[in-house]
Amino acid sequence: MARLLAFDTSTETLSVAVRHGDAVIERTSAGGAQASSTLIPLVQALLAEAGLHLRELDAIAFGRGPGSFTGLRTACSVAQGLGFGAGVPLLPVDTLLAVAEEARHRFGAQKVLAVLDARMEQVYSAAYDFSTQAAPVAQAQLSAPEELVLPPGFVLAGNAFDAYGERLPAGGARHAALPTAAAMLRLAPALLTDGRSVAPADAWPLYVRDKVAQTTAERAAAKQQAT
């Protein structure tokens, strides 16, 4: 699997990368509301730079979540459209796993509690142990920052430190990390070997949270609990 496209729009940073043989080309851009208009042009530009056509890809990896609801729907719908049009299988990648892989690659972390800001005074989290081939120690969950438990020997990695700071568990190192497309490319070979690719019609986001917004009373209660 030497020809891969990957992208993530689950956070405020849009990340796209292409692998062609041993060469990896990566770009980032503003995510959020802008991702829906910039993702496809950026994909086209990177494929052209790599000298690839969509139909030549072995697979298309995308960040399936958890993360921004709008971002996840953007990534999934674009991946489905590209996959259907080119006849290419899709590889849904958990964003928290990509965060953990980024911390492993950049900081040498082997045991990682990945944490992403979920807004509404909550975080998404999952623990991974790369000494056992990135086996998840705990599945993705949604919780208040104070409810997180850092397993012994683990470090924190993600984008929740500025927002929640001291409300996150103490005792381990903290690494700023995002679910980058390059991380997904590094994860892709093992995931593909494990049979994780799917047909475009079977690709879906992983939301974890089942509610997009809080009522006024719920927001007030959350603020009171945080103070």
The yes-or-no verdict on residue 65 having pLDDT over 80 is yes
Measured between alpha carbons, how far is 61 from 6 in angstroms, rounded to an integer?
4
Measured between alpha carbons, how far is 102 from 82 in angstroms, rounded to an integer?
26
Segment (H or E) for 185:
helix 181-193
pLDDT the model gives residue 218? 39
* CA 74 to centroid of chain Cα atoms: 13
| Residue that has been written with the tokens 């103070």 in this structure | 227
For residues 190-215, average pLDDT: 84
Instruction: Express each pLDDT in 78-134 by its tens digit.
Output: 999 999 999 999 999 999 999 999 999 999 999 999 999 999 999 999 999 998 765
DSSP 198: B
Helix axes 181-193, 95-107, angle to 10 degrees: 110
Q: Are 226 and 122 in contact (CB under 8 A)?
A: no
The yes-or-no verdict on residue 222 having pLDDT over 60 is no
Give pTM, 2 decimals. 0.90
pLDDT interval class at 52 (50, 70, 90): very high
| Residue that has been written with the tokens 């093992």 in this structure | 190
pLDDT interval class at 171 (50, 70, 90): confident
In whole angstroms, how far apart are CA 174 and each of 18, 139, 164? 29, 20, 13
For residues 58-69, average pLDDT: 97
How do beta strands 155-158 and 111-117 pair?
A: parallel
Contacts of 86 (CB under 8 A, 6+ apart): 53, 54, 55, 57
pLDDT the model gives residue 215? 34
pLDDT interval class at 31 (50, 70, 90): confident
